Amino acid sequence: MAIPVEMPKMSDTMEEGVLVSWLVEEGASVSAGDVIAQVETDKATMDLEVYDDGVLLKKVIQEGEAVPIGGLIAVLGEEGEDISEVLAKYGGGDGSAAPEPETKAEAVEAEAGQAPSGDGAAEEAAVAAGPEEGARIKASPLARKMAREHGIDLRTVRGSGPEGRIIKRDIEALLAGAPVEVPEAAPKPAPAEAPAEAPAMPAAYDVERISQMRKTIARRLAQSKFTAPHFYLTVDVDMEKATAFREQLNELAEAQGRGKVSFNDLVTKACALALRQHPYVNASYLEAEGEIRLHREIHVAVAVAIDEGLITPVIRHADRKGLGQIAEETRRLAEKARNRELQPEEYTGSTFTTSNLGMFGIDEFTAIINPPNACILAIGAIRDVPVVRDGEVVPGRRMRLTLSCDHRIVDGAVGARFLTTVRQYLEEPLNLLL
């Protein structure tokens, strides 16, 4: 008689367990009370004991896989016994007993791989896979038909019916561009008392539907800000040498008929080089997977404001690219972003992000981390300021950089060291060429 070994409920809040390591090989004999594996719950890593004697006929799940409570982990029995019935009972054979956690992991990965903003396709993927958004949309048959006819995506509609059911009036309101009436609102006025046409009141506000892009930005930024504990480090960078350096570069560029290098490009390059030295800044904290990823490649995203919102084109391998190349690529991607022509691979997969509001005269600000990055660098305007040098007040050129760090992975000293490296590059910009 084959005996299934199921995932036990090891804590009150446990929903699934991850098999961390197998301690027994297939084919080995085990006795009741033997520990055959280690299982990680939401709280701790615990021993998995068997309650029967027998041979470990099959390890149904592999190390690192998650199984919900009651899911099949292994099968015990007698040597050579047919276990297909047990496997079938738990929904299939070879390791497929845990399809749910797998898809869940994929979903998280898909989520993690996304830029803070995306187009419809990216949003669709998130909606399809996301644990919350994946829920069935409740809509009356009529509302579905109307949405179909008018090309309305029901996911963009807020339902005013019971349990959020989308109903006719929600679609009508959307088509009319008006806010949806609340169900508890006063009933329609009786025709006897009020003439059909009440005097129109001027609306106190204009209504704009939340775009998919804005929705994605909102969701991702809220997720970032609420789950990643942010802290901020600011440095004032002396930009005198960088200014002179850039002037020289651009004279050369002009002579060669190439595009100019911006201060932003200098910062991008400085960050990329600094990231090489500070792997914990070029990292991702992936709670669901229970892992920290230290990225081997350096992909710096540059936040670009477009009419619809924000998008972050990525300069891939920025540490290996020359300033001219970075300048050219940034310009090209920003242009594509403004034309909404960016392909998903051009705005996903960053390992670090910069955001620049210097052109608006903003001296200093803090940015919200672009998940799953560990940090984002906010770049302020370059100011001519009086500085004290050798006891004298002299003119200086300064720029403030503020690094937002996810404290789950980047500690204060790590962030400070990284920022120091960035400053050093900008204050001795020739190093950017080495």
Partner 1 sequence: MHSDMAELQFREAIRAAMVEEMERDENIFLMGEEVAQYNGAYKVSEGMLDRFGPKRVIDTPISENGFAGLGIGAALNGLRPIIEFMTFNFSFVAFDQLINNAAKIRYMSGGQFKLPIVFRGPNGAAGQLGATHSTSTESIYATIPGLKVVAPSNPDDAKGLLKSAIRDDDPVIFLESEVMYGLRGEVSDEPDYLIPLGKARIAREGEDVTIVAHSKSYWIALRVADRLAEEGYSAEVIDPRTLRPLDIDTIVASIKKTNRCVIIDESNPYASISSEIAYQIQDRAFDYLDAPIRRITAKDVPAPYAKNLMEYYMPQEDDAYEACKQVMYAG
Active site members: 407
Binding region for partner 1 (CB under 8 A) out of 76-84, 113-121, 160-168, 250-258 = 160-168
Closest separation in Å from C-beta 202 to partner 1: 24
Shortest CB 185 distance to partner 1, Å:
7
Q: How far is the CB of 152 from partner 1 (least distance, A)?
A: 15
CB of 179 to partner 1, least distance (A): 16
Applying CB under 8 A, among 41, 114, 117, 160 the residue interacting with partner 1 is 160
The yes or no reply on residue 143 touching partner 1 (CB under 8 A) is yes
Q: How far is the CB of 138 from partner 1 (least distance, A)?
A: 11
Q: In this complex, which beta carbon is closest to partner 1, that of residue 174 or of residue 401?
A: 174
The nearest distance, CB 11 to partner 1, in angstroms, is 41
Identify the residue among 55, 61, 167, 426 touching partner 1 (CB under 8 A): 167
3-state secondary structure of 275: helix
Q: Find tokens 């005198």 and name the residue.
A: 240
Contacting residue, 113, 161, 259, 324, with partner 1 by CB under 8 A: 161
Cβ distance to partner 1 smaller for residue 161 or 349? 161
Sheet holding 352-356, edge to edge: 230-238, 392-406, 375-389, 352-356, 299-302, 314-316
SS3 381: strand
198 or 388, CB closer to partner 1? 198
Q: In which residue are the tokens 């691979």 written? A: 345
Name the segment binding partner 1 (CB under 8 A); options: 35-43, 136-144, 200-208, 387-395.
Answer: 136-144
- CB nearer partner 1, residue 196 or residue 201: 196
Residue 139: burial class (beta carbons within 10 Å; 0-12, 13-18, 19+): buried
336 to 142, 304, 311, 351: CA distances (angstroms) = 40, 10, 11, 21
Are 212 and 112 in contact by the 8 Å Cβ rule? The answer is no
CB 187 → partner 1: shortest distance, Å?
Answer: 5
Going from the C-alpha of 413 to that of each of 232, 368, 418, 426, the distances in angstroms are 12, 20, 9, 20
In angstroms, the CA 11 to CA 14 distance is: 5
Contact by Cβ (8 Å): 123, 212: yes
* Cβ neighbours of residue 66 closer than 8 Å, sequence gap 6 or more: 16, 17, 18, 19, 98, 101, 104, 105
For the CB of residue 186, give the shortest distance to partner 1 in the complex, in Å.
9
Is residue 26 within 8 Å of 58, Cβ to Cβ? yes
**Please, which residue, 130 or 161, has the CB nearer to partner 1?**
161
- The window from 119-127, 138-146, 305-313, 423-431 that contacts partner 1 (CB under 8 A) reads 138-146
Among 94, 136, 141, 392, binds partner 1 (CB under 8 A): 141
Q: How many residues bind partner 1 (CB under 8 A)?
A: 21
With binding defined as CB under 8 A, does residue 95 bind partner 1?
no
Nearer to partner 1, 5 or 167 (CB): 167
Site membership for partner 1, residue 138 (CB under 8 A): no
Q: How many residues does the chain have?
A: 434
Nearer to partner 1, 38 or 140 (CB): 140
User: How would you class 220 by CB atoms within 10 Å of its CB: exposed for 0-12, middle for 13-18, buried for 19 or more?
Assistant: buried
* Closest listed residue to residue 379, CA positions, set 267, 270, 300, 269: 267
Rounded to 5 degrees, what are φ and ψ at 404?
-95, 130
Q: Residue from 142, 210, 244, 433 that binds partner 1 (CB under 8 A)? A: 142
Distance between CA atoms of 329 and 314, rounded to whole angstroms?
Answer: 9
Q: Which of residues 241-300 bind partner 1 (CB under 8 A)?
A: none
Residues between 178 and 237 with contacts to partner 1, criterion CB under 8 A: 183-185, 187-192
Q: Which residues bind partner 1 (CB under 8 A)?
A: 140-145, 160-162, 167-169, 183-185, 187-192
